[in-house]
């Protein structure tokens, strides 16, 4: 005898009481992390527009928009508390580890930490003697200075390491990003190190930059890549100053540095990996 065909069980409609678990009114708000990340992205966009404009009134208006977002202090707070996707708290840990492995210092390493905010990154490492600078210092022991204005110390007081952790991506002027890499040479003792950190998305998801391309840029700028490692959010590079190329001194220290370390390759904004979803992070060098 043929078995009676079973009616498929009707799915029960899921009815949630309004205004309680499923109600729009009580639905959990989007986590503030998203809002913070948006603020940071807007801040970066404004910073790039400020770098591009030559009109003083427009620059003031753009600065006012940054202030309305909370200004640099908001940016730094997000950076410290981790609202930004580019949180850098973990970056000092990696640099301290690789520097110790590599150098096994018996006297404290002189380290210039650029963009140090509150100057806490290296507090727990007794074998590191940090000097902290920031455009907008958030603690008295952090010097208020633009890296480009920081005085170059005498030769015997130059730094073993210059830290550029999450700083290049802050700079709105794309050419200044490359200049920053060249500028760092002035502060280094011979064969000293630069510790470079960027949000991973800057190399992993950009139309204009890849790991290979960044390697080529830093090599042209006069550094060997000694260590490179990515975390879930950051790309971290320990660079070592190359031995200077033979060249005549220039009229200024920066000119001399360029002749000594820069191989002259020009890096322009060139699409490397197309994709509408990709970001447009870029470093120019010339």
Ligand X SMILES: C[S@@+](CC[C@H](N)C(=O)[O-])C[C@H]1O[C@@H](n2cnc3c(N)ncnc32)[C@H](O)[C@@H]1O
Interacting residue ranges for ligand X, rule: CB under 6 A = 72, 76, 79, 88, 91, 114-117, 133-136, 146-148, 165-167, 170-171, 197
Annotated ligand binding at 115? The verdict is yes
Nearest CB to ligand X, comparing residues 148 and 249: 148
Residue 46 has which token pair? 């404004």
CB-based contacts of 146: which residues, under 8 Å, 6+ apart?
Answer: 135
Closest distance to ligand X from the beta carbon of 19 (Å):
41
Backbone angles phi, psi at 250, to 5 degrees: -90, -175
Nearest CB to ligand X, comparing residues 91 and 235: 91
Annotated ligand binding at 71? The verdict is no
Tell me if 115 sits within 8 A of 164, measured CB to CB. yes
Closest distance to ligand X from the beta carbon of 147 (Å):
4
Closest distance to ligand X from the beta carbon of 217 (Å):
18
Nearest CB to ligand X, comparing residues 76 and 220: 76
Closest distance to ligand X from the beta carbon of 71 (Å):
10
Q: Which residue has the tokens 């840990």?
A: 93
Q: Which of 36, 116, 90, 84 is nearest to 231 (CA)?
A: 90
Closest distance to ligand X from the beta carbon of 22 (Å):
39
Nearest CB to ligand X, comparing residues 165 and 235: 165
CB-based contacts of 18: which residues, under 8 Å, 6+ apart?
Answer: none
Nearest CB to ligand X, comparing residues 127 and 150: 150
Cβ count within 10 A of residue 19: 10
Binding-site residues, please?
115, 134
Binding-site residues for S-adenosyl-L-methionine, please?
115, 134
């Amino acid at each position: 005898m043929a078995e009676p065909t079973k009616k498929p069980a009707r799915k029960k409609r899921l009815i949630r009481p309004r205004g309680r678990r499923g109600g729009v009114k009580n639905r959990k708000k989007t986590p503030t992390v998203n809002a913070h990340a948006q603020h940071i992205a807007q801040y970066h966009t404004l910073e790039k527009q400020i770098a591009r404009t030559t009109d003083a009134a427009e620059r003031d208006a753009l600065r006012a928009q940054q202030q309305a977002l909370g200004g640099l202090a908001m940016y730094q707070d997000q950076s410290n508390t981790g609202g930004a996707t580019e949180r850098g708290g973990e970056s000092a840990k990696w640099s301290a580890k690789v520097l110790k492995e590599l150098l096994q210092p018996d006297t404290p390493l002189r380290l210039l930490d650029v963009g140090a905010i509150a100057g806490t990154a290296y507090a727990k490492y007794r074998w590191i003697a940090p000097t902290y600078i920031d455009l907008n210092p958030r603690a008295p022991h952090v010097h208020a200075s633009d890296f480009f204005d920081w005085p170059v110390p005498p030769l015997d007081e130059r730094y073993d390491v210059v830290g550029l952790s999450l700083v290049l991506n802050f700079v709105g002027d794309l050419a200044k990003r490359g200049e920053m890499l060249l500028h760092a040479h002035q502060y280094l003792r011979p064969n000293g190190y630069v510790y470079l950190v960027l949000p991973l998305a800057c190399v992993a998801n950009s139309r204009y930059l890849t790991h290979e391309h960044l390697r080529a840029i830093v090599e042209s700028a006069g550094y060997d890549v000694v260590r490179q490692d990515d975390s879930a959010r950051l790309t971290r590079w320990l660079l070592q100053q190359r031995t200077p190329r033979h060249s005549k001194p220039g009229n200024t220290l920066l000119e001399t540095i360029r002749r000594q370390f820069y191989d002259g390759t020009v890096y322009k904004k060139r699409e490397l990996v197309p994709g509408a979803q990709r970001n447009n992070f870029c470093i120019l060098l010339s």
